[in-house]
């Protein structure tokens, strides 16, 4: 389902310098113009996001993180470059809470090549969020992870056929939606959008993602609503328990954002299941070919990825993602590196598609073939232990070799 990406700017009523007020006013004018721009300009906006915006940045934040040797394992030093949700996500899982953070002088975009080469020599791990347009050039020795992966569910002849590859649990829950008494309606009135955003989406994202929550600007969501969008309302026992902002793009119906009432989540099968079923039914009624379940972190073991995979979704790099996370390490056998790979199973991009990496014998690895992501490389596995889509990889392999093996097996 739809994810969250960026928080709203400060309001005009805050105390600011005259220049700050003008800057905020200009920002609001630009966002209003974006909200009301015709749909025909969207390809131009997408190109600008991918190829122009990053060139306007004057500097990129850099830091080093150090963890002393202790019960968690040997000492670890990491170089962190750039900002973004995907970087925060991987960083939070790499370091314990007592890690020492040392800010470094920010770098100009033109100096990224030399900076990354230096960090690769001096740090055990490097995490760098960079523009996708330059990621291949900047990270030849790294795994290149898309900042988001998209989950698409092919729509078949009816709901049963659409969910044919879903898990048994999902198929059972889909049947229970009707017996539990869930109903749904579709609304395209702006008042429904305002209610959805203020009463459902904002509280839901804040509670669900905590410190990692990034709310998309209201103007951005309103634009989606104005151009082929609407709200699916889910109701149970006469009460609205959830809503989803959806939009039709070509032959696809996509979730843009969602929100459910907290108390309703505990009532099986849950309003999120009911929203997915409603979206499937809406796509079927509109003769659409795909239901876009939204973006997720590039990690096979992430809970949201696993939930979308359970619906039978196939994964691709998200078209809404314009940055990549470059991940590299100096010593593959470092416990922190092995723990990160085992706990997350990172999904990375190659010239031919998506692949993933995990660790053998960790207690975390379970065979789970995922549509759109192959091969699943298993670091340290013996060749006879795994079969396609799993591929055994030498435990001392570095990122460049891992990426090369994935590409060889994808051709």
**Rounded CA gap, 179 and 206, in Å?**
31
* Residues near 14 by beta carbon (within 8 Å), at least 6 away in sequence: none
- Distance between terminal CA atoms of the chain? 31
Query: How do residues 273-287 score in pLDDT, each as one tens digit?
Result: 999 999 999 999 999
CB-CB contact of 241 with 142 (8 Å): no
Rounded to two decimals, the pTM is: 0.85
Integer angstrom CA distances of residue 94 from 100, 303, 383: 13, 17, 28
CA distance 374 to 372: 6
The two three-digit tokens of residue 26, written as one number: 């200009």
Beta strands in 5-115 (DSSP E): 60-67, 76-81, 100-107
Q: Are strands 252-260 and 239-249 parallel, antiparallel or unpaired?
A: antiparallel
Which two structure tokens, joined as six digits, stand for 318?
Answer: 């998200």
- The residue with tokens 């789970």 is 368
Q: Is 107 helix (H, G, I), strand (E, B) or coil?
A: strand
CA distances from 191 to 11, 273, 315, 402 (A): 22, 25, 34, 51
Q: Is the dihedral of CA 309, 312, 316, 322 positive or negative?
A: negative
Task: Determine the pLDDT at residue 362.
Answer: 57
Rg (Cα) of the chain, in Å, rounded? 22
pLDDT of residue 288: 97
pLDDT in tens, 248-260: 999 999 999 999 9
Question: How far lies 197's CA from each of 37, 279, 296, in Å?
Answer: 21, 18, 20
What local confidence, expressed as pLDDT, does residue 52 receive? Answer: 60
Angstrom distance (rounded) from CA 77 to CA 67: 7
pLDDT value of residue 265: 62
d(CA 339, CA 364): 9
**Exposed e or buried b for every residue in 245-278, given b needs 16+ CB within 10 A?**
bbbbbeebbbbbbbbbbeebeeeebbbbbbbbbb
Q: What is the pLDDT along the chain (411 residues), one digit of tens a residue?
A: 443 332 222 222 223 333 444 457 777 777 777 777 877 777 776 766 666 665 666 789 999 998 887 666 788 899 999 988 899 999 988 886 667 888 999 988 889 999 999 999 999 999 999 998 888 888 889 999 999 999 999 999 999 999 999 999 999 999 999 899 999 999 999 999 999 999 999 999 888 877 767 788 899 999 999 998 999 999 998 999 999 999 999 999 999 999 998 776 666 798 999 999 999 999 999 999 999 999 999 999 999 999 999 999 999 999 888 899 999 999 888 888 888 998 899 999 999 999 999 988 755 555 567 899 999 999 988 888 888 889 999 888 899 999 999 999 998
| Cα 101 to Cα 99: distance, rounded to the nearest angstrom | 6
Place of tokens 């891992």: 402
The per-residue pLDDT for 39 is 76
Closest CA to 7 of 80, 91, 63, 84: 84
Which DSSP letter does residue 68 get?
-
Give CA–CA dist 343/188, Å, rounded.
41
Task: Write down the pLDDT at residue 16.
Answer: 34
Nearest to 143 by CA among 344, 376, 360, 329: 329
Task: Give the pLDDT confidence score for residue 272 in this predicted structure.
Answer: 92
> Are residues 214 and 169 in contact, defined by beta-carbon separation less than 8 angstroms?
no
Question: If we measure between CA atoms, which residue out of 274, 136, 259, 255 comes closest to residue 194?
Answer: 259
Beta 354-359 vs 373-379: how paired, if at all? Answer: parallel
Full set of structural domains in the chain with CATH: 156-296 (3.40.630.30), 331-411 (no CATH)
CA atoms of 1 and 295, how far apart (whole Å): 7
């Amino acid at each position: 389902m739809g994810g969250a990406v960026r928080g709203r700017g400060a309001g005009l009523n805050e105390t600011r310098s005259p220049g700050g007020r003008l800057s905020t006013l200009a920002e609001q004018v630009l966002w209003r113009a974006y909200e009301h721009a015709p749909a025909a300009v969207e390809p131009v906006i997408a190109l600008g996001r991918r190829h122009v915006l990053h060139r306007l940045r004057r500097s990129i934040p850099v830091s080093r993180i150090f963890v002393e040797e202790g019960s968690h394992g040997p000492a670890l030093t990491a170089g962190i470059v750039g900002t973004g949700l995907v970087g925060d996500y991987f960083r939070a899982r790499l370091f314990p809470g007592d890690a020492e953070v040392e800010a470094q002088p920010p770098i100009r975009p033109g100096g990224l090549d030399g900076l990354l080469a230096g960090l690769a020599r001096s740090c055990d791990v490097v995490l760098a969020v960079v523009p996708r347009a330059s990621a291949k050039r900047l990270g030849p020795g790294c795994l290149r992870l898309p900042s988001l992966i998209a989950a698409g569910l092919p729509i078949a002849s009816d709901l049963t056929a659409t969910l044919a590859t879903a898990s048994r649990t999902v198929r059972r829950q889909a049947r229970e939606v009707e017996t539990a008494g869930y109903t749904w309606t579709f609304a395209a009135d702006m008042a429904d959008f305002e209610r959805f955003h203020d009463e459902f989406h904002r509280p839901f994202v804040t509670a669900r993602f905590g410190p990692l929550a990034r709310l998309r600007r209201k103007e951005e969501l309103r634009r989606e609503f104005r151009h082929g969008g609407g709200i699916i309302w889910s109701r149970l026992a006469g009460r609205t328990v959830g809503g989803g902002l959806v939009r039709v793009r070509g032959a696809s119906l996509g979730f843009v954002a969602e929100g459910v009432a907290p108390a309703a989540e505990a009532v099986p099968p849950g309003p999120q299941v009911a929203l997915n079923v409603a979206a499937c039914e809406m796509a079927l009624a509109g003769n659409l070919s795909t239901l876009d379940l939204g973006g997720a972190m590039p990690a096979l073991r992430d809970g949201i990825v696993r939930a979308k995979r359970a619906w039978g979704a196939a994964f691709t790099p998200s078209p809404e993602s314009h940055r990549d996370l470059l991940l590299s390490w100096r010593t593959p056998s470092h416990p922190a590196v092995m723990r990160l790979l085992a706990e997350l199973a990172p999904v990375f991009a190659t010239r031919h598609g998506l692949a993933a990496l995990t660790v053998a014998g960790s207690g975390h690895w379970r065979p789970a073939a995922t549509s759109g992501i192959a091969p699943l490389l298993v670091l340290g596995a013996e060749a006879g232990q795994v079969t396609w889509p799993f591929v055994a990889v030498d435990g001392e392999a570095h990122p460049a070799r891992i990426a090369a093996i994935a590409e060889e097996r994808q051709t």
